Amino acid sequence: MKIAFPTSNKKTICEFIPFCKYFLIYDTETKEQKVIDNPLFQTVKEKKIKKRDCGENGLHTGEIIPPFLKSHDVELLIAKKLGEGMLDNLEIYNIKYTLTDSSEISKFI
């Protein structure tokens, strides 16, 4: 199973997915880790979008991230917060999710 964690430092889980630099993908079968760039982070950086300015659905995170994760064979997303659109689209792409208060990725792998 491949598990994705939104992160900026490859050690902790970011709270807001569009503002995370990467996704760390962990393969539970091979124990391999892979870090991929978050496709939304470049947009946030280029447009200098602040968290307070994006608002709900402002970046269409729920439309972009689920198919992106599916293209990397992710089966589970572990995150701190997920919006309604994200939850709906994770279901469409058959990606399970777990919400956590923990920040440490090492707790899960």
Domain count for the chain: 1
Residue where the block lists tokens 């947009």: 43
> Which pLDDT does position 51 carry in this prediction?
66
pLDDT (tens digit, 0 to 9) for every residue of the chain, 109 residues total?
A: 999 999 999 999 999 898 899 999 999 999 999 999 999 888 777 767 766 655 544 677 889 999 999 999 999 999 999 988 899 999 999 999 999 999 999 999 9
CATH code of the domain covering residue 37: 3.30.420.130
H and E: helices and strands count for the chain: 4, 5
User: Residue 94's domain spans which residues?
Assistant: 2-64+73-103
The DSSP output letter for 28 is T
81 inside domain: yes
The amino acid present at 15, given as its one-letter code, is E
89 inside domain: yes
15 inside domain: yes
Three-class HEC string of 48-94: CCCHHHHCCCCCCHHHHHHHHHHHCCCCEEEECCCCHHHHHHHHHCC
